[in-house]
Amino acid sequence: MAADPPRRQPTLDEVAERAGVSRSAASRAINQAPHVSRATRAAVERAVKELGYQPNRTARALATQQTGIVALAVSHDAPELFADPFFAQVIVGVSAALEDTELHLVLCLASSGRGQTRLTNLLRTRGVDGIMLMALRGDDPLTRIVRQAGLPAVYGGRPLNFEPQWYVDSDNVGGARLATEHLIGLGRTRIVTISGQTGTEVGEARYRGYREAMIMAGLIPYGMAEGDFTEAGGAAAMKTLLDSHPDLDAVVAANDNMAAGALRVLAESGRSVPADVAVVGFDDLDVAERTQPPLTTVHQSIQALGKEMTRMLIDLIAGRERTSLILPTRLVVRDSA
Amino acid sequence: MAADPPRRQPTLDEVAERAGVSRSAASRAINQAPHVSRATRAAVERAVKELGYQPNRTARALATQQTGIVALAVSHDAPELFADPFFAQVIVGVSAALEDTELHLVLCLASSGRGQTRLTNLLRTRGVDGIMLMALRGDDPLTRIVRQAGLPAVYGGRPLNFEPQWYVDSDNVGGARLATEHLIGLGRTRIVTISGQTGTEVGEARYRGYREAMIMAGLIPYGMAEGDFTEAGGAAAMKTLLDSHPDLDAVVAANDNMAAGALRVLAESGRSVPADVAVVGFDDLDVAERTQPPLTTVHQSIQALGKEMTRMLIDLIAGRERTSLILPTRLVVRDSA
DNA sequence: AACTTTCCTGGGACCGCTTCCAGCCGCCTC
DNA sequence: GAGGCGGCTGGAAGCGGTCCCAGGAAAGTT
């Protein structure tokens, strides 16, 4: 089945023998440990080179009790949702952070019951040194599983109703505030918001940011409709708001997809953006550049999120102290506001 | 650093002791091996339950010489390109196939030199039982690395200039033929094509399919411009073709992104689709449903690709015979042709 | 009742590496 | 020149499983 004859990899014993030293000495030399004479080190290095030796990962893991593997678990109702570019961005960030370590990444799509069982096994059998979790709801069984495993765990975003000990999150409140303040600075006062699901932390946080900014400016939160983070949901919410608040002059959408939906409905209703109604989104996904007009939006770096989660996990595994992290967001001004 | 006191997992010895049997007996009972009395099995099962025992993955791996891990390596010039939904689809397929096995997936973004080194190490240190490779160019150093590792390896798609022993590929030639024949069936004769990079197997194969269909219908391949699989590239190619063949009446694009670019340029040039010019794409990505008009395109299931690759790899690891696989494509007729 | 055969059993080697520890050596100090 | 101190060294005990094998008990055969 293997492409080449499965010629066994040389072992440490063989290296030691060839170098004329003991296995312990060889091990020490290979691991750059102290208490190795120059001569020994040189002999071992030569033997390693000649034999093409590579220490066996599994054996080392068994001895050190460290697998050199971290898990990234993505929990989602339907595995198809994994296709969201969001996760790809996270993975790119994670990989970047892993790049200058010896760690490898196992990816767990833990949506189904089967997937969760597999993940549980992986943790309980000590198959990984630590884990990163994304897209959890507060009541997700994964949180319990992870807690029980007693392994370092870093959350991406905060589940609702549960503050993990270690997490990395975008500053959703601050971002929404930024967006709203921008509109206020433009002289808008009848500012409504299209929120995400109120059952999610992101949804709640961005809504909170909008409210805070309004109140701090002495304005009343003018109107709100709940969306579901999709283009269609944004469109529906926009219609509702146009009915209830026909004189609105700006809208803060909790993400770009919904903002795109809102733009579509506004165009259909004959309002011009940004003249009649200013719109700002959130996320700064690709779609934001392609809407008509291009979307002013709040930028958050998903890659950075993945990278920081990974760095944090690495530190935790190494036993270093860490505290949770909230990543800044910034406003990207285009034409819609 | 761990959330809970790192209370050691119970070991097989402890289970054996508690069950009042030897370690070997306990091992046999746990692994459903034969030669275990009902009494022993029951005692062991009870002990396992009481202790919450889970065999240590690493120790087992060392003894069996099987890690229970497979790698999916993605080689790409820039890690950002990983954000292409294509890979997400592959991963979903792979995960689905892995779901009813004990195998786990490690994901390797092996674009950079660092990434390649890491992958090489993973293979040479026997960190995985097998590997799947995607998006390779024929001269990719990975092919050599993988060959040397002597591990079961399955390719997704065929690199140019090199036919791997085991691969799963979509029927690109057949798909492009299907698309072209559809246009011919519609009575079009001045059919041009926007190809992918000629340096890629996919690009070449789809171009070949177009040519074959034309020739078999007694038509001459009317014109060709090379794109790069992006929307912008497709647009540029379309402009070129409109200049050189102003009377063209149909275009076969080697993927949906380029087809979308072509549609845009056609609209700008005042031609109506499909009345003046019929357009068909390839891939059936989400974008195909959202173009104006919705795109007739060749559907290939990327998830199926991932799934089949994984099944093949599992078989190879188990020592079963397998031969490469070419997955069918089918035409999805929408409005653009 | 003696002798196979069958089924279980536990002992122990082994997978390949890390790491503790006692011992050895050379060198410095007084 | 004896005692002390460090740096290296190899032996051996681990990490936590799998699995071969010899042997013992129970069952079946004459």
Q: Give the pLDDT confidence of A222-281 residue by residue, as tens digits.
A: 999 999 999 999 999 999 999 999 999 999 999 999 999 999 999 999 999 999 999 999
Q: Which nucleotides of C are covered by protein (CB under 7 A)?
A: 7-12, 14-21
Contact call for A92 and B82, based on CB within 8 A: yes
Given this model, what pLDDT does residue A282 score?
Answer: 97
Nucleic strand C within 7 A of Cβ B65: yes
In tens, the pLDDT along A58-91 reads: 999 999 999 999 999 998 767 777 878 889 999 9
Q: Which two tokens stand for residue B206?
A: 């789809």
Is there a contact between A3 and B150 if contact means CB atoms under 8 Å apart? yes
- pLDDT band for position B6 (50/70/90)? very low
pLDDT of residue A138: 67
Q: Is a pLDDT exceeding 80 seen at residue B265?
A: yes
Q: Say whether residue B54 is in contact with chain A using an 8 A CB cutoff.
A: yes
Nucleotide nearest to B64 (CA to C1'): D18
Angle at A208 between CA A262 and CA A234, to 5 degrees: 15
Size of interface A-B (CB pairs under 8 A): 166
* pLDDT band with cut points at 50, 70 and 90 for residue B8: confident
**The token pair that represents B140 in the structure block:** 């990719």
Q: Which nucleotides of D are covered by protein (CB under 7 A)?
A: 7-12, 14-21
CA gap A113, B210 in Å, rounded: 45
Could you write out the three-class secondary structure of chain B?
CCCCCCCCCCCHHHHHHHHCCCHHHHHHHHCCCCCCCHHHHHHHHHHHHHHCCCCCHHHHHHHHCCCCEEEEEECCCCHHHHHCHHHHHHHHHHHHHHCCCCCEEEEEECCCHHHHHHHHHHHHCCCCCEEEEECCCCCCHHHHHHHHHCCCEEEECCCCCCCCCCEEEECHHHHHHHHHHHHHHCCCCCEEEEECCCCCHHHHHHHHHHHHHHHHCCCCCCEEEECCCCHHHHHHHHHHHHHHCCCCCEEEECCHHHHHHHHHHHHHCCCCCCCCCEEEEEECCCHHHHCCCCCEEEECCHHHHHHHHHHHHHHHHCCCCCCCEEECCEEECCCCC
pLDDT band for B3, please (50, 70, 90 cuts): very low
For A122-136, what is the mean pLDDT?
Answer: 93
Q: Is the predicted pLDDT of residue B10 greater than 90, yes or no? A: yes
Query: Measured between CA atoms, how close is A233 to chain B, in angstroms?
Result: 17
- Band of the pLDDT at B112, cuts 50, 70, 90? confident
Checking each nucleotide's C1' against the CA of B23, the nearest proves to be C10
Reported as a single tens digit per residue, the pLDDT across A156-169 is: 999 888 889 999 99
At A7 the pLDDT is 61
C-alpha A160/C-alpha B170 separation (Å) is: 43
Minimum CA–CA partner of A90 in chain B: B83
- Beta bridge mates, A225: A194
- Select from A244, A208, A197 the least CA-distant residue to A223: A244
- pLDDT tens digits for range B170-208: 999 999 999 999 999 999 999 999 999 888 899 999 999
Q: Does B319 touch chain A (CB under 8 A)?
A: yes
Least confident of B155-169, B233-247, B261-275: B155-169
Which residue is closest, via its CA, to the C1' of C6? B35
pLDDT at res. A164: 92
Tell me the nearest-neighbour CA distance from A227 into chain B, angstroms: 21
Contact list, B146 vs chain A (CB under 8 Å): 3
pTM score > 0.95 for this model?
Answer: no
% of chain A surpassing 90 pLDDT: 80
Confidence band for A4, pLDDT divided at 50, 70 and 90: very low
Phi/psi for B75 (5° steps) reads -105, 130
Sheet containing strand A330-332, edge to edge, reads A223-226, A191-195, A250-253, A278-283, A296-299, A330-332
Long-range (24+ apart) CB contacts under 8 A made by A42-48 are A43/A19, A44/A15, A44/A16, A44/A19, A46/A19, A47/A15, A47/A16, A47/A18, A47/A19, A48/A15
Q: Is A124 helix (H, G, I), strand (E, B) or coil?
A: helix
Give me the pLDDT at residue B317, please. 96
Task: Note the pLDDT tens digit of each residue in A90-100.
Answer: 999 999 999 98
**Which pLDDT value is given to residue B238?**
97
Q: What is the mean pLDDT of chain B?
A: 92
* Residue A6 pLDDT: 47
Of B6, B58, B95, which has the smallest distance from its Cβ to A62's Cβ?
A: B58
Q: Hey, are the CB atoms on B67 and A58 less than 8 Å from each other? A: yes
Neighboring chain B residues of A55 at a CB cutoff of 8 Å:
125
Q: What is the pLDDT of residue B55?
A: 96
Interface subset of B 111-150, CB within 8 angstroms of A: 112, 114-115, 118, 121-122, 124-127, 146-148, 150
% pLDDT > 70, chain B: 97
**Range name among A3-7, A232-236, B156-160 with the lowest pLDDT average:** A3-7
Among partner residues B7, B59, B114, which is closest to A62 by beta-carbon distance? Answer: B59
| Contacts by A111-119, CB closer than 8 A, 24 or more apart | A111/A74, A111/A75, A111/A76, A111/A77, A111/A78, A111/A79, A112/A79, A112/B99, A114/B99, A114/B100, A115/B95, A115/B99, A116/A75, A116/A141, A116/A142, A116/A145, A118/B99, A118/B102, A118/B104, A119/A71, A119/A73, A119/A145
B282, B175 in Cβ contact below 8 A? yes
Cβ contact, residue pair B2, A150, below 8 Å:
yes
**How far is A163 from chain B, CA to nearest CA, in Å?**
13
By C-alpha distance, the chain B residue nearest A71 is B106
- Test A82 with B104 for CB contact under 8 angstroms: no
Residue A3: the pLDDT is: 36
* Distance set, CA B108 to CA B64, B131, B208 (Å): 24, 10, 32
Mean predicted confidence (pLDDT) in B151-164:
91
Which member of A56, A88, A108 has the closest CB to residue B82? A88
The fraction of chain B above a pLDDT of 90, given in percent, is 79
Show residues of chain B in contact with A56, CB under 8 Å: 62, 125-126
Per residue in A293-315, is it b (16+ CB within 10 Å) or e — as a string?
Answer: eebbbbbbbbbbbbbbbbbbbbb
pLDDT at A1 over 60: no
Q: Give strand pairing partners of B195.
A: B226
**Residue pLDDT, tens place only, A17-50:** 999 999 999 999 999 998 899 999 999 999 999 9
